[in-house]
Amino acid sequence: MKALLIEGPGILEVKDIDMPTVGPSDVLIKVKIVGIHPQDYYMAKNLTTQGHKINPMPHIPGEEIAGIVEKVGDKVKSVKKGDRVIVYHRIHDGTCDMCITGHEQLCRNGGRFGINDNGGLAEYIAIPERNVIKIPEDIDWEIAASLPVSSLTPYHALNEAKLSAGEYLVVIGASGNTGMFAVQLGKIFGAIVIASSRKDRGWLKEFGVDYVVTLDNLEEEVKKITLGRMADVVLDSIGKETWKKSLSVVGTTGRWVTFGALTGGEFEDEPLDVSPIYLYRFERKIIGVRGGKKAELHRLVNLANRIRVKTWRKYKLEDAPKAIEAIMSPDRDGRIFVETN
Ligand SMILES: [Zn+2]
């Protein structure tokens, strides 16, 4: 089968390799489409991402996977050949305390397909049954490949922040891979959504956001919209360049949520500068989230037909290196996908 391989720092090639072996509890998926992330670019360039060394080498990247079941192992019961599926990309043992309490994303022995094991930028991938989720026929493929990471992460973030109907939600980087789903999920939660985007993205209004503001005027704009009360929940996954600004718009009892630094920084270099007074005087909370729970991904599948995706470019598997290069393009306006079959 054909697969994209990271063979060394910056060395990406599409090659013919052996089909993956399918164990008794595995599902062989004919990959249909993979969503590309800045993470893929950094891994290809540095062979590490946020402290994780990619494994194995050569390495098949691709974290956000949707496809069709080609074959199942003897013990597999939940899916059969021909089913449309997505991959919950968190590797988890299902037996540790975190897994048992429903926090598979924090598994003590966990990792991620595409980083700690091979990912989906190939014609086929073998995945344990516990990571495979069946989806209905009527979900668009680009939406399907936007559920496991791009939508799940902000969905988990909004759940952890306990966003309520009528609250003000500010999304920093609203036109990005997770941002475009954060704003839509914010509307589904019943919030008033303020989208901050570096560039003028007219399409965000079509995605249901109530206000589009620029990062430069964030504080003033949020003050005006909220009559000086500021935001109830702020999502910021961009990195140190936006943290100061986004922290400035968190209101009394507000929750500031982060799930990483998409600008690619390593966290040791990016301490968050917050005074305890900033927190306790106004009962603000700072929340960190990582991916999402498997149960949440199941629920997201049920919301899939209420979510839209803005696609910028689609590539074929042979051109996957170009897709990974393009994810960092300053002109990017929407998602990048690789169609593998
Ligand atoms: Zn576990």
Span from the CA of 111 to the centroid of ligand 1 (angstroms): 10
Span from the CA of 135 to the centroid of ligand 1 (angstroms): 24
Span from the CA of 317 to the centroid of ligand 1 (angstroms): 32
What is the percent of the chain with per-residue pLDDT over 70, rounded to a whole number? 97
Span from the CA of 238 to the centroid of ligand 1 (angstroms): 28
Span from the CA of 122 to the centroid of ligand 1 (angstroms): 27
- The per-residue pLDDT for 286 is 97
Span from the CA of 318 to the centroid of ligand 1 (angstroms): 35
Span from the CA of 100 to the centroid of ligand 1 (angstroms): 7
- The per-residue pLDDT for 136 is 98
Span from the CA of 102 to the centroid of ligand 1 (angstroms): 9
Span from the CA of 96 to the centroid of ligand 1 (angstroms): 4
Span from the CA of 133 to the centroid of ligand 1 (angstroms): 18
Span from the CA of 47 to the centroid of ligand 1 (angstroms): 25
- Decide yes or no: CATH 3.90.180.10 for domain 2-146+309-339: yes
Span from the CA of 113 to the centroid of ligand 1 (angstroms): 15
Report, as an integer, the average pLDDT of 89-118.
Answer: 97
Q: Is residue 278 over pLDDT 90?
A: yes
Span from the CA of 206 to the centroid of ligand 1 (angstroms): 40
Span from the CA of 193 to the centroid of ligand 1 (angstroms): 35
Q: Is residue 304 over pLDDT 70?
A: yes
Span from the CA of 128 to the centroid of ligand 1 (angstroms): 14
Residue 45, classified by CB atoms within 10 Å of its CB into exposed (0-12), middle (13-18) or buried (19+), is middle
Q: Which whole-number Å values give the CA distances from 52 to 61, 253, 295, 310, in the listed order?
A: 13, 35, 25, 30
Mean pLDDT of the chain: 95
Span from the CA of 85 to the centroid of ligand 1 (angstroms): 22
- The per-residue pLDDT for 269 is 64
Q: Is residue 169 over pLDDT 80?
A: yes
For 221-277, the pLDDT digits (tens) are 999 999 999 999 999 988 888 999 999 999 999 999 998 766 655 556 667 889 999
SS (H, E, C) the chain: CEEEEEEECCEEEEEECCCCCCCCCEEEEEEEEEECCHHHHHHHHHCEECCEECCCCCECCCCEEEEEEEEECCCCCCCCCCCEEEECCEECCCCCHHHHCCCHHHCCCCEEECCCECCCCECEEEEEHHHEEECCCCCCHHHHCCHHHHHHHHHHHHHHCCCCCCCEEEEECCCCCCHHHHHHHHHHCCCEEEEECCCCCCHHHHCCCCEEECCCCHHHHHHHHCCCCCEEEEECCCCHHHHHHHHCCEEEEEEEEECCCCCCCCHHHCCCCCCHHHHHCCCCEEEECCCCCHHHHHHHHHHHHHCCCCEEEEEEHHHHHHHHHHCCCCCCCCEEEEECC
Span from the CA of 327 to the centroid of ligand 1 (angstroms): 32
Span from the CA of 93 to the centroid of ligand 1 (angstroms): 4
Span from the CA of 91 to the centroid of ligand 1 (angstroms): 8
- The per-residue pLDDT for 266 is 57
Question: Domains of the chain: which residue ranges?
Answer: 2-146+309-339, 150-288
Q: Is residue 5 over pLDDT 70?
A: yes
**CATH assignment, 150-288:** 3.40.50.720
Span from the CA of 249 to the centroid of ligand 1 (angstroms): 36
Span from the CA of 106 to the centroid of ligand 1 (angstroms): 7
Span from the CA of 87 to the centroid of ligand 1 (angstroms): 17
- The per-residue pLDDT for 264 is 52
Q: For the whole model, what pTM was predicted?
A: 0.96
Separation of alpha carbons 45 and 3, rounded Å: 18
